Structures are given as structure tokens and as C-alpha cells.
């Protein structure tokens, strides 16, 4: 799998020390790790954390391992841990629901929700998340209402949201979202909302995008 903008954005944006305890994550899970891009970014950002990735594509798991990620061949629905929950779960999940499918099976499973619905994603992430942990996702803007409703059904609240624009003149195309368990946060935390424009007026990387990703791009 190629290095994509969505993965880079999520790996650079997530700020798990926002959770009420203020602690940095000790255990991290990357759901649908692919080549291990996001996992590698989080290993760089949080060198003292244990970072694991799971993926249903065995070739992707092998590639992630070659890239230095502790990766396992498993879907989220059946992933079990030994008395361990995660302080941070991240995912750049499949999001195409009713579009023409790529004939390449690996790309099809990476992009379509057939193998990981939003409902399963939010239920099982809530199952695996520590009481003071955080779930961070990148999704199309069209998924906002559904994902927020599913989060609430599974006992999570949105704590941070960024709308991503390719250019200022165009509608937002992606959402960066962070959720925390409502039993920990209660309803007292305001949602931190922000915007991120990726391109400047000349078509290059915007100043905000460069600032966000400066530790990762050469």
C-alpha cells in the first residue's frame, strides 16, 4: 500500500495527551495498519509506547513487519488481548460503501466497508479502549453524523474534530476525529474544533500542513 495523505494526517494529528488524565499512551493499536505507516509515525512520536498493528491482509502484515511494526494477521472483530486494553487506538478505516470496487483484492478490502463496517469499528474499538484512552479516526465528511451516533451508542464522546480542506475554495473532504469514553469524560469537555487546509494558493503544502507534518516529511 502506498503512503497516503490520510494516513500521514492522522499519524501527525492525533494528540492522546488530551484525555483527562493527561498521560501519554503506553499501549497503541493501529487498526488496518497496511504497510505500517501510522504505526511507524506513532512509534516515532511515542518511543516508550508499545505499538501494535492488525490487518486482514497477510501481505500487508508482512510488509508492516518488514517496516519494523509489531503486526498481526487479524480482523478487529476477533482481535483479543490478554488482559490488556489500549490507551490509544487509531484507524484509517475502509470507507467506500456503495462504489465500484477495485479488482485488486488488497486495495478493495482496504477501501470498502464490507470487511469492517462503521458499526463494528466503533463497537470493537470501545471494547478494546482503556477507560481513559482515546480513539482517533480519519473519515470522509459524509460519515460524520453516522460515526458520532455510533460513538454515542457505544459510550464514547467526540472530544476533538478537524475539518480537512484540500483548498480554501473547496468543501471539506475529510474529518479527523478523536473520541474518549463518556464514563471518564462525562459531558463536561468542550469539543475542540479546528480546520486544516492542505494546499496554499500556489498549490504547494500550506503552512499549517507543513507545521503539522514537519517531523515526518524529509
Q: Where are the domains of the chain?
A: 5-213
Query: Yes or no: is domain 5-213 CATH 3.40.630.30?
Result: no
pLDDT tens digit string along 205-216? 999 999 999 999
CA distance 21 to 15: 13
Query: CB-based contacts of 104: which residues, under 8 Å, 6+ apart?
Result: none
Predicted local distance difference test score (pLDDT) of residue 105 = 47
CA distance 145 to 58: 33
Stated pTM of the model: 0.88
Predicted local distance difference test score (pLDDT) of residue 112 = 42
Where residue 123 falls among pLDDT bands split at 50, 70, 90? very high
CA distance 218 to 207: 15
For the beta sheet containing 192-197, the strands, ordered from the edge strand earlier in sequence to the opposite edge, are: 70-73, 50-55, 27-31, 86-91, 129-140, 174-181, 156-165, 192-197
Name all contacts of 20-25 with Cβ < 8 Å and 24+ positions apart: 20/132, 20/180, 20/184, 20/185, 20/189, 21/132, 23/87, 23/132, 24/48, 24/49, 24/87, 25/49, 25/86, 25/87, 25/88, 25/133, 25/134
pLDDT tens digit string along 152-195? 999 999 999 999 999 999 999 999 999 998 876 655 567 899 99
Determine what percent of the chain is predicted with pLDDT higher than 90: 71
Where residue 22 falls among pLDDT bands split at 50, 70, 90? low
- Is 46's pLDDT higher than 70? yes
- Is 100's pLDDT higher than 80? no
Amino acid at each position: 500500500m502506498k503512503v497516503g495523505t490520510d494516513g500521514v494526517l492522522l499519524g501527525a494529528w492525533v494528540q492522546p495527551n488530551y484525555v483527562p488524565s493527561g498521560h501519554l499512551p503506553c499501549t497503541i493499536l493501529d487498526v488496518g495498519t497496511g504497510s505500517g505507516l501510522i504505526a511507524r509515525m506513532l512509534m516515532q512520536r511515542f518511543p516508550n509506547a508499545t505499538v501494535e498493528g492488525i490487518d486482514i491482509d497477510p501481505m500487508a502484515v508482512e510488509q508492516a513487519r518488514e517496516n519494523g511494526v509489531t503486526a498481526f494477521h487479524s480482523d478487529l472483530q476477533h482481535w483479543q488481548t490478554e488482559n490488556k486494553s489500549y490507551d490509544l487506538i487509531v484507524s484509517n478505516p475502509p470507507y467506500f460503501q456503495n462504489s465500484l470496487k477495485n479488482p485488486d483484492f488488497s486495495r478493495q478490502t482496504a477501501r470498502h466497508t464490507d470487511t469492517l463496517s462503521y458499526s463494528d469499528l466503533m463497537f470493537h474499538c470501545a471494547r478494546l479502549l482503556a477507560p481513559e484512552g482515546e480513539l482517533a479516526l480519519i473519515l470522509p465528511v459524509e460519515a460524520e453524523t453516522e460515526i458520532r451516533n455510533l460513538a454515542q451508542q457505544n459510550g464514547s464522546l467526540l472530544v476533538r474534530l478537524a475539518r480537512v480542506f484540500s483548498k480554501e475554495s473547496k468543501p471539506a473532504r475529510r474529518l479527523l476525529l478523536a473520541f474518549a469514553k463518556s464514563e471518564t469524560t462525562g459531558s463536561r469537555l468542550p469539543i475542540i474544533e479546528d480546520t486544516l487546509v492542505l494546499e496554499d494558493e500556489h498549490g504547494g503544502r500550506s503552512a499549517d500542513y507543513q507545521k503539522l507534518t514537519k517531523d515526518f516529511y524529509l
